[in-house]
């Protein structure tokens, strides 16, 4: 009887975990389009006021407030790239599946995809790091760090999976070491040795089982068993990246632009 | 109570979550604005006197022909089923335009049905795979 129950439960997991989520096309309400575009222009104004080729831009795509976090996603915004005056280069999960891709997009598109709020942080880096970052993006060395196997909760030392924040952290590490090979394992070890501290998220059993047992984009298997049993997971977050950069004196200026978004009305 | 071996297996196998999304992630395709496909953008300004002269809806796409004293303009946009119903019943109705920081909202019967980006904002609309 027990074996039959176990078989039934595991079969259920295997079937639905492969299914992924629908890639639904969302039609934004006109007022949301207007707000996203207004936030994009506000960011452009700040970017134009600074003499820098690149900055980090963080947004609120997911509500992480229960973990004490505000920003869930970050990308590089590059001046005068191929597509326009300002272009955001970042990694996005493909519609809730276990795959990801890198994108270059304008700031209007970037903020149109901010699901929770339009609040944003713009972070400018010291000139040497900014120049090197612009170079590793221009010559596509950063693209060689991309691993399309996506895991929303990827372990910071995972060489099997990657999420959007991990790609940003590894790209920063590549830019900090001119001439270093674009090798994820080496870069991950380097940032850890240089004091990057991943965020520890507590996800209790009840939430995990009720909330996400069947998520195609969540693979806990690259976390140690002790983490799975305790519910304490280490991940690279926007906060952990910015904290690391600030402690290393690599941030020259930061601005947070608050603007209510869809979830706040 | 002791945890049975099969309970441990199920709990460890359960990858879990939704509880954490440290990286944003899911992207559905978003429609960031309506577009003028024919006519002059200058016709659509705050306070313009416009009438919805014709509506064509195919699936989630709509083409609106707006007529003013100086001519007409055709706007293409994606619409929800609800908005499509409002538009289909609104031919001949006055369209209000409201200026915002980054463009104009088109309003019919008190409901905003479309947002037209200003040229300045439209320059920041692009999206492609990289590199």
Judge: A106–B125 Cβ closer than 8 Å, yes or no. yes
Q: Does A235 touch chain B (CB under 8 A)?
A: yes
Taking the CA of residue B49 and the nearest CA in chain A, the distance in Å comes to 20
Mean pLDDT of A27-35: 89
pLDDT at A192: 98
Q: Which residues of A touch B19 (CB under 8 A)?
A: 66, 201, 203, 207-208, 211-212
Instruction: Choose the most confident range, by mean pLDDT, from A84-93, A209-218, B5-14.
Output: A84-93
State the pLDDT confidence band at A27, using cuts at 50, 70 and 90: confident
Mean pLDDT of A35-59: 97
Q: Is A164 helix (H, G, I), strand (E, B) or coil?
A: helix
Greatest distance between any 2 Cα atoms in chain A: 69
Query: How deeply is B37 buried, as exposed, middle or buried, from its count of CB atoms within 10 A (0-12, 13-18, 19+)?
Result: exposed
A contact residues 116-175, partner B, Cβ 8 Å cutoff: 140, 143, 150, 152-153, 163-166
List the single residue in B with minimal CA-CA distance to A136: B131
Q: Does A232 touch chain B (CB under 8 A)?
A: no
pLDDT at A24: 59
Mean pLDDT of chain B: 78
Model confidence at A75: pLDDT above 60: yes
Judge: A30–B17 Cβ closer than 8 Å, yes or no. no
State the pLDDT confidence band at B31, using cuts at 50, 70 and 90: low
List the single residue in A with minimal CA-CA distance to B21: A152
Angle of the A2-17 helix axis to the B5-13 helix axis, nearest 10: 0
Higher pLDDT, A247 or A179: A247
Q: Is A110 within 8 Å of B127 (Cβ atoms)?
A: no
Judge: A95–B23 Cβ closer than 8 Å, yes or no. no
What backbone phi and psi angles, to 5 degrees, belong to B26? -50, 130
State the pLDDT confidence band at A72, using cuts at 50, 70 and 90: very high
Q: Per the omega criterion (within 30 degrees of 0), is the bond before B131 cis?
A: yes
pLDDT at A160: 94
Higher pLDDT, A25 or A191: A191
**Spatial separation of the C-alpha atoms in residues A231 and A229, rounded to whole Å:** 6
- DSSP-based helix, strand, coil % in chain A, nearest 5: 45, 25, 35
Closest partner CB to A105 (pick from B113, B121, B126): B126
Instruction: Report ipTM for this prediction.
Output: 0.85
Q: What is the pTM of this model?
A: 0.84
Closest partner CB to A212 (pick from B19, B23, B24): B19
Q: Which residues of A touch B100 (CB under 8 A)?
A: 34, 37-38
State the pLDDT confidence band at B59, using cuts at 50, 70 and 90: confident
Judge: A36–B32 Cβ closer than 8 Å, yes or no. yes
Q: Provide, rounded to the nearest whole percent, the portion of chain B with pLDDT above 70.
A: 74
Q: Does A101 touch chain B (CB under 8 A)?
A: yes
Mean pLDDT of chain A: 86
State the pLDDT confidence band at A82, using cuts at 50, 70 and 90: confident
pLDDT at A262: 58
Query: How deeply is B76 buried, as exposed, middle or buried, from its count of CB atoms within 10 A (0-12, 13-18, 19+)?
Result: middle
| Chain Cα centroid distance, residue B101 | 17
pLDDT in tens, A106-127: 999 999 988 889 999 999 999 9
pLDDT at A166: 97
State the pLDDT confidence band at B105, using cuts at 50, 70 and 90: very high
| DSSP characters over A171-198 | HHHHHHSTT----HHHHHHHHHHTT--P
pLDDT at A61: 87
Pairing of strands A251-257, A117-125: antiparallel
Judge: A95–B79 Cβ closer than 8 Å, yes or no. no
| Residue B2 CB contacts under 8 Å (≥ 6 apart), including other chains | none
pLDDT in tens, B32-49: 578 888 888 888 876 778
Judge: A165–B126 Cβ closer than 8 Å, yes or no. no
Q: Is B49 within 8 Å of A99 (Cβ atoms)?
A: no
Higher pLDDT, A205 or A237: A237
Closest partner CB to B16 (pick from A23, A34, A209): A209
Q: Does B5 touch chain A (CB under 8 A)?
A: no
Closest partner CB to A31 (pick from B6, B32, B112): B112
Q: Is B54 helix (H, G, I), strand (E, B) or coil?
A: strand
pLDDT at B103: 93
Closest partner CB to A27 (pick from B80, B112, B120): B80
Model confidence at B77: pLDDT above 50: yes
**Spatial separation of the C-alpha atoms in residues A174 and A188, rounded to whole Å:** 10
DSSP H/E element including B107: strand B103-108
Model confidence at A48: pLDDT above 80: yes
Q: Is B76 within 8 Å of B60 (Cβ atoms)?
A: no
Among candidate residues A215, A50, A28, the one with its CA nearest the CA of residue A108: A28
Distances (CA, A) of A249 to A55, A58, A124, A217, A244: 15, 19, 11, 34, 9
């Amino acid at each position: 009887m027990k074996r039959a129950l176990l078989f039934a439960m595991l079969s259920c997991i295997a079937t639905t975990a492969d299914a992924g989520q629908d890639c639904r096309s969302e039609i934004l309400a006109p007022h949301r389009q207007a707000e996203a575009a207004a936030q994009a222009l506000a960011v452009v104004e700040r970017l134009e006021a600074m003499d820098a080729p690149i900055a980090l831009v963080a947004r609120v795509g997911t509500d992480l407030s229960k973990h004490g976090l505000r920003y869930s996603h970050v990308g590089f915004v590059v001046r005068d790239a191929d597509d326009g005056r300002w272009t955001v280069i970042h990694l996005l999960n493909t519609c809730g599946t276990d795959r990801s891709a890198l994108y270059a997009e304008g700031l209007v598109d970037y903020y149109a995809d901010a699901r929770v709020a339009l609040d944003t942080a713009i972070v400018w880096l010291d000139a040497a790091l900014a120049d090197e970052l612009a170079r590793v993006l221009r010559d596509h060395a950063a693209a060689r760090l991309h691993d399309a196997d996506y895991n929303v909760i990827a372990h910071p030392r995972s060489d099997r999976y990657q999420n959007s924040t991990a790609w940003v952290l590894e790209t920063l590490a590549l830019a900090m070491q001119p001439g270093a090979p674009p090798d994820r394992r080496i870069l991950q070890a380097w940032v850890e040795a240089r004091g990057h501290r991943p965020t520890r998220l507590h996800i209790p059993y009840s939430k995990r089982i009720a909330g996400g047992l069947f998520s195609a984009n969540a693979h806990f298997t690259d976390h140690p068993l002790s983490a799975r049993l305790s519910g304490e997971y280490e991940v690279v977050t926007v906060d952990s990246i910015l904290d690391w950069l600030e402690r290393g004196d690599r941030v020259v200026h930061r601005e947070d632009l608050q603007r209510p978004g869809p979830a706040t009305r | 109570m002791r945890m049975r071996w099969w309970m441990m297996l199920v709990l460890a196998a359960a990858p879990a979550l939704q509880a954490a999304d440290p990286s944003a992630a899911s992207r559905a395709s978003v429609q960031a604005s309506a577009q003028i496909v024919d006519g002059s953008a200058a016709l659509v300004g705050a306070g313009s006197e416009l009438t919805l002269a014709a509506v064509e809806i195919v699936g989630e796409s709509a083409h609106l022909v707006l007529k003013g004293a100086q001519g007409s303009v055709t706007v293409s946009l994606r619409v929800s089923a609800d908005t499509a119903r409002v538009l289909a019943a609104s031919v001949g109705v006055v369209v209000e335009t409201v200026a915002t920081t980054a463009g104009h909202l088109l309003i019919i019967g008190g409901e905003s049905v479309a947002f037209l980006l200003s040229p300045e904002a439209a320059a920041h609309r692009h999206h492609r795979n990289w590199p």
